[in-house]
Structure 1
Amino acid sequence: MTVFVVLAILVLVLLAYTASLERRVRRYISRTAASRHLVTVELDRRHVQLEPFIAAVESSGLDPKTVRALVGARSWSKAVRERELSLNAQAAAENALSAAVHSVLAESDMHPTLKTNWAFQGPAGDLETTEKRIAGAVRVYNDNAYRLSLARTTFPSKLVAKALKVLDPEPFVEHAASAGEQPEDLPAQLA
């Protein structure tokens, strides 16, 4: 009789542990999806803020080469997002856009007339804030994707993730291979 009680208790403990693993894996899935959505929202916000910023930059008298780099990076980023390419390609395009934005902001710091020009400083300040928000959102997404990936590969949560058919999340990082190459289906002038 005591053997059956002990076995029943062990089965209940095992079921409770399995249920907690399932909740944890589902929580990681939902957090990863929510943080991916947050990255998308912030990137959309940046694209909206780029319109008045580029208009202000074009009329500011900054180096035309820097302005062309910014416009080209924005076009590349839009093209990658519209074609729904991989997260690695999207990260490469977004990193190029961030670098172009930061180079314009750095060059604008050397122009004393732009420091007092509200038509430039307003969009520039908004864009700087959004850049910081994007960096934070990407960190949160990558952290959640790492946790979900870890849950997929470690025992015993691996069994639960396999039963739930969880796919390995792709991190939002630019790999060295994708950083130097241009996607084949994008025109050369966009890069």
Structure 2
Amino acid sequence: MPLAIVIIAIVVVLALWFISLYNGIVQKDNRCDNAWQTIDAQLQRRNDLIPNLVETVKGYASHESKTLEAVTQARSAVMSATTPEGKMEASNILSGTLKSLFAVVEAYPDLKANTNFQQLQAELSETENKIAYARQSFNDCVLEYNNAIETFPGNIVAGSKFKTRQGFEVTDASVRQAPQVKF
């Protein structure tokens, strides 16, 4: 009789341990989803600000249409991307085109002094900072989740149900370069 109680106790402890590990993996997976939704919300905020910024710049720098078109196209690419990976790549390209836009703006002192432009630039800069923070948070969540499902004993509990996730990374090396403005 005491052996049966010991076996039952061991089975119960193992079941609770398994449930605890499984729930921990699910929570980490959900944190990754939440972190991505935060990035997505900030990307949408940036996308909402860009048309106002472009219209303000157009009034001062109408001959810079190539740069403005690039920003508009990059914004459209972010909005039309359907996967997190696609949004990541399109967002990186948009960040690069925005750097080019702000480099062009340096040549227009009246524009830089315009209150609307300053406000839009400040909001966009704040949003870019929030995006950077959200990306870091997302990458931290992905790291924690991937570690949970790839290390022992989590890999046994995760089985084939949970797949590794990809963190946010720069895929276009050109966005790491400072923009060059030529007049």
Structure 1 counterpart of 2:125: 128
Cα distance, 1:133 vs structure 2: 0.6
Structure 2 counterpart of 1:98: 95
Structure 2 counterpart of 1:67: 68
Structure 2 counterpart of 1:78: 79
> Whole-Å Cα distance in 2 between the matches of residues 108 and 121 of structure 1?
11
CA contact (8 A) 1:152 1:158 kept: yes
Cα distance, 1:43 vs structure 2: 0.8
> Whole-Å Cα distance in 2 between the matches of residues 140 and 59 of structure 1?
38
Structure 2 counterpart of 1:171: 167
- Provide structure 2 residue ranges, at least 5 long, that are not aligned to the other structure: 175-183
Correspondence list, 1:1-191, <5 A: 3-4=3-4, 6-61=6-61, 64=64, 65-79=66-80, 81=81, 84=82, 86-162=83-159, 165-175=161-171
Share of identical aligned residues, percent? 27
CA contact (8 A) 1:66 1:103 kept: yes
TM-score calculated relative to the size of structure 1: 0.78
The CA RMSD over aligned residues, in Å, is 2.4
Structure 2 counterpart of 1:183: none
SS at 1:166 equivalent: coil
- Provide structure 1 residue ranges, at least 5 long, that are not aligned to the other structure: 181-191
Return the letter of the residue paired with 1:137: A
> Whole-Å Cα distance in 2 between the matches of residues 62 and 149 of structure 1?
48
Aligned length: 173
Question: What are the Cα deviations for residues 85-113 of structure 1, in whole angstroms up to 9, with x where unaligned?
Answer: x4333222111101111222233245332
Cα distance, 1:140 vs structure 2: 1.1
Return the letter of the residue paired with 1:136: Y
CA contact (8 A) 2:57 2:111 kept: no
TM-score calculated relative to the size of structure 2: 0.81
Return the letter of the residue paired with 1:66: T
> Whole-Å Cα distance in 1 between the matches of residues 163 and 129 of structure 2?
29
> Whole-Å Cα distance in 1 between the matches of residues 73 and 142 of structure 2?
30
> Whole-Å Cα distance in 1 between the matches of residues 27 and 61 of structure 2?
50
Question: What are the Cα deviations for residues 50-81 of structure 1, in whole angstroms up to 9, with x where unaligned?
Answer: 111111111122761332322232233233x2
Structure 1 counterpart of 2:179: none
Cα distance, 1:116 vs structure 2: 1.9
SS at 1:59 equivalent: helix
> Whole-Å Cα distance in 2 between the matches of residues 155 and 60 of structure 1?
60
Question: What are the Cα deviations for residues 109-137 of structure 1, in whole angstroms up to 9, with x where unaligned?
Answer: 45332332012111111111111111111
